[in-house]
Chain A
Amino acid sequence: MIASKLKEAILCLRPGLVTLKYPFQPHPPEEDFRGYPEVDADKCIGCGGCAAVCPARAIMIQDIDQNTRRIVRLLERCIFCGRCADVCPEDAITMTKQFELSSDMGREDMESECQVFMATCQRCGRCYEPATPLDRIMQPGFRHDEIKRGGQDSPYEPVKPA
């Protein structure tokens, strides 16, 4: 009994104090960490690959008119899997090391939108070519109408196709 307690005491004493004084002493994440997905809107060609593969359906695509495509990202739905960054043919999305993402700006702060000018023919040379047929966009026009922001009582209206 006493021997056991001594062994346990040694086990506790040897490592000493290990608790970090976070946030004063940060523990930076590792190199390939999947944090906040940053989008370079200048690089985006509006192919819609990210919306097709997103498991959380956090990315909505809407064609406003023949030439303009609207891409809305609802970050509150994001699960940080990084599939969008994987499939982006233009490397427009990068998973950053940023993980301290709380905000006091309200829900609007969790939404980002970019509008991409599309050539008149929206399919030629811009289509997303997935590595496997399993990532194919199955329905034209995407499933953006199912996605709502916030809970069921949210006044937010789901985006309807133009």
Chain B
Amino acid sequence: MSAQQLGESVKQRFGDKVISFSVPQPDQLYLTVTSDSIVPVAEYLYKDQGCRFIINSGTDRRQQRGKFLITHFFAQDKEKFYIAVHTEVDEDEPQIDSITPSVPAANWSERETRDMVGVVPTGHPDPRRLVLSDDWPEDLFPLRWDVEHGVKPPSVEGVAPERLAPPEGASVVPIGPYFPVLEEPAYFRVFVEGEEVVGADYRGFYSHRGVEKLGCSVLTYNQIPFIAERICGICGFVHSCSYCQAVERAAGIEVPPRAEYIRTIMLELERIESHTLWLGIAGHIIGFDTVLMQTWRMREPLMWLCERISGNRKTYGMNLVGGVRRDIKPEIYDDIRQVLTDIEREWQELYDAIPGDSTLMARLQGTGILPTEVARSLGAAGPTARGSGLAIDVRVDHPFAAYDRLEVTKCVYDGCDNLARTLVRLDETVDSIKIIRQALQDMPEGPIMAEIDEEIPAGCEGMSAVEAPRGEVFHWVLTGTENRPERWRVRAPTYANLQNVPPMLEGNALADVPICIGSYDPCFSCTERMEIVDVNSGQVRVYSQEEILNGDYRRQDD
């Protein structure tokens, strides 16, 4: 069923409840429905049509329409299009029926919309605060237009996040706030019975940076790519690329083919960089540092190559709306091929060594099982999904940049365990090298930047996804006045994958928890608190930064 047909079918089924639908491009369907029909429409798309939930977004349009705009995004992977379901909610009664009971993957994003815009999802099964810090005022919603960027409410002492209670008889093992092996902040509370994990709870977002607010209130169109690139330190190019594509779609800008090829090559170079980095970290987590040393050594010539192409090892700063800033000069094609050949040879040697290594296999095989059904219902993305047998890959399902002209293989394994996710990444690296070789060979001549003569009109929207090393990155832009978007919504793949961690951990031994969490290549935000469980009374409390600095966390009787 094409986007047009699906729009008609929804219209036919729900009649007056569907206010309008449009298909500006064959791969984008925009539906506007009444607020009381959002749950049945979401159920129809998710259960009957097999669409995948991506994220939801809240926009404050009280100035223009006197209403809040709530948008749920879905993907129809088989038919290669994205769906945005818009609903308007009255400003006097800012609430909307929660779709989480029918679409479990919407859990986090509905809570985020409540935190940031103040539209309450009614009937949400887990209405705890998600994104804002615990001492943030209840009635201050940062993404509303009348809240200034950079507002700093005074901090409050003695607040703590609401925590899930551990199951009867289970103990709590806090992992974090500084994840011991990834050297990144993350705060998991793992519930254990003896050695076995029976559940987990995650609290994060302690250093939410407010990048979306920055983009919608302070920056201009061509400044955002550089800030978007800093959303992630390892795969930043995917964000600037996805943002630029979303604006280009909204404004109808045609990107020159050479720029599309350059974007493709940079994305694939970044994927190799990220996967080699991940394999090293995974080896480090399970105590096999040889892998760490060797993969990072292999990666270094690639970093120097990227510095030569873009002017920097990471955060290439190459994307702008309409194309790229820097050309890949033909005289370095051969050097790129040489670096790829070297990496491919060593990567293959490593690949041959791994399956025979019983130490590695014992740690990877059969641990961290994420069943296919769970991965689908919680919206897993990227290698996490493909390791659980879900054949989704944006490069094939929703081709962007030059991927429609290149041969891309979906690397899918159905082992559902840590080994499957490792093999997906090992295969993808080899595939990426092939893609870059083909792109270098087919690269057309011509300009690298589109000529933009007119301003971008307000009120247009564009969706764009990019396959990042960790999974699907999704950006939605609603254009506005003053040379900047009215709303810019970002979904990073870890946002979806983190929600898969608690079910993934269940049934594992505690010793396997680090590699399970590491196996989906997380990208955490910062947290600044720690939790101490008093073993005698079982009491749990969180200490503030000041208390930790003062040493107040020591036991009273010490």
Contact = CB atoms under 8 A, between A and B. Distances in A.
Contact of B220 (A3, A5, A31, A134): A134
A33 B219 contact: no
A134 B349 contact: no
Contact of A133 (B223, B326, B357, B455): B455
A11 B358 contact: no
Contact of B482 (A83, A135, A138): A138
Interface in A112-142: 131-136, 138
A41 interface: no
Nearest to A86: B325
Interface string B278-308: 0000000000001001100100100010011
B222 A53 contact: yes
Contacts of B326: 32
A49 interface: no
Interface residues of A, number: 39
Interface string A37-65: 00000000000000001111100000000
Q: Main secondary structure on chain A at its contact with chain B?
A: loop
A158 B221 CA distance: 25
Contact of B227 (A55, A80, A138): A55
B357 A5 contact: yes
B358 A1 contact: yes
A34 B235 CA distance: 19
A35 to B, nearest CB: 9
Contacts of B312: 33-34, 80
A92 B242 CA distance: 32
Interface string B453-473: 111100000000000000000
Given A55-B223, A132-B452, A152-B152, A7 B353 contact: yes
B346 interface: yes
A89 interface: no
Interface string A1-36: 101110110111001001000000000011111100
B223 A54 contact: yes
A34 B454 contact: no
Contacts of B221: 134
A82 B225 CA distance: 13
B350 interface: yes
Interface string B471-483: 0000000000011
B152 A8 contact: no
B126 interface: no
A29 B307 contact: yes
Contacts of B358: 1, 4
Contacts of B230: 79
B317 interface: yes
Nearest to B288: A8
B203 to A, nearest CB: 25
Nearest to A7: B353
B357 A33 contact: no
A2 to B, nearest CB: 9
B357 A11 contact: no
Contacts, number: 102
A34 B317 contact: yes
A33 B307 contact: yes
B321 interface: yes
B394 to A, nearest CB: 26
Interface string B184-197: 00000000000000
Contacts of A3: 356
Contacts of B297: 15, 18
Nearest to A15: B297
Contacts of A10: 349
B290 A8 contact: yes
B311 interface: yes
A86 B350 CA distance: 42
A133 B357 CA distance: 58
Contacts of B308: 30-32
A113 to B, nearest CB: 23
A4 B362 CA distance: 14
**B225, B311, B482: most-surrounded residue (chain A CB, <10 A):** B311
A108 B192 CA distance: 53
A82 B357 contact: no
A79 B226 contact: yes
Contacts of A4: 353-358
B454 A133 contact: yes
A11 B311 contact: no
A30 B304 contact: yes
B293 A12 contact: yes
A8 B290 CA distance: 8
Contacts of A15: 297
A12 B482 contact: no
Contact of A134 (B222, B227, B353): B222
Contact of A11 (B218, B226, B322, B353): B353
Contact of A32 (B225, B311, B455): B311
B352 interface: yes
A88 interface: no
B323 to A, nearest CB: 10
A95 interface: yes
Contacts of B290: 8, 12
Closest 9 pairs between A and B when the two form their complex, measured CB to CB: A4-B356, A55-B226, A34-B311, A7-B353, A55-B223, A132-B452, A30-B308, A4-B357, A81-B317
19 contacts: A1-B356, A8-B353, A18-B300, A30-B304, A30-B311, A32-B308, A33-B312, A34-B311, A132-B321, A132-B322, A132-B451, A132-B452, A133-B455, A134-B456, A134-B483, A136-B455, A138-B482, A143-B218, A146-B218
Interface of B: 150, 152, 218-227, 230, 290, 293-294, 297, 300, 304, 307-308, 311-312, 315, 317, 321-322, 325-326, 346, 349-350, 352-358, 449, 451-456, 482-483
Given A11-B349, A54-B223, 16 more contacts: A3-B356, A4-B356, A5-B357, A11-B353, A12-B293, A29-B307, A32-B311, A33-B307, A33-B311, A53-B223, A55-B219, A132-B321, A133-B455, A134-B220, A136-B455, A138-B482
